[in-house]
Structure 1
Amino acid sequence: MSWRLSTSCYLLLREFRDIYVVFELMESDLHQVIKANDDLTPEHYQFFLYQLLRGLKYVHAANVFHRDLKPKNILANADCKLKICDFGLPCFLTTHQPLYFGLIM
């Protein structure tokens, strides 16, 4: 999946049992941005929310669900542009799968 609100993977390397993934560089994550900046305005938060909702709309339209979305998995740069990362455990929804909510034992 490639879109401007998800991180781009530039290179995959496999060396014996290790796998290295090279992504584009983003300066920070949303958790650090919010924690370190007392001068964020409501407009900043609106811009963050707008980007996140657009990104989630795109990801969900591709029937992918992140399952670990949190501020540390949302990268940020100096221009306040956000990118969703760490799709380590995504759930891919097919038309033949029922949706379950809650704890399944």
Structure 2
Amino acid sequence: MFYNNVSYNNNSGYTLGKTTTTVNNIEFSNKVPSYRSGLHHHNSWNLSDYTVSASDFVSLDPSSPDFLRLKAGSGLVNVGSDIGFPFNGTAPDLGVYEQY
């Protein structure tokens, strides 16, 4: 199980095995796309007609306390799958942080 992660600005994205379930993850600005097999849904790459961009995030500076936190109004907010963690809004957010 691989839930609520962000792969950002890496040499490659996720490399996950065929039995891995991935849910509520974000992939952005990696040099090589992820290798994905197994079950994956409600991730940034599963969204139709939406491309993740820098404007989705409060900060892309690793030294910031808001690093990879989603901005209010981002298309990645309230589009996740309920996997049993508390969330605010109509559905969980993608990535590490939930909007409160």
The interval holding the TM-score normalised by the smaller chain is under 0.3
Larger Rg: 1
TM-score, reference length from structure 2: 0.20
Higher relative contact order (CA 8 A, sep 6+): 1
- Considering fraction of residues, name the structure with more helix: 1
- Considering fraction of residues, name the structure with more strand: 1
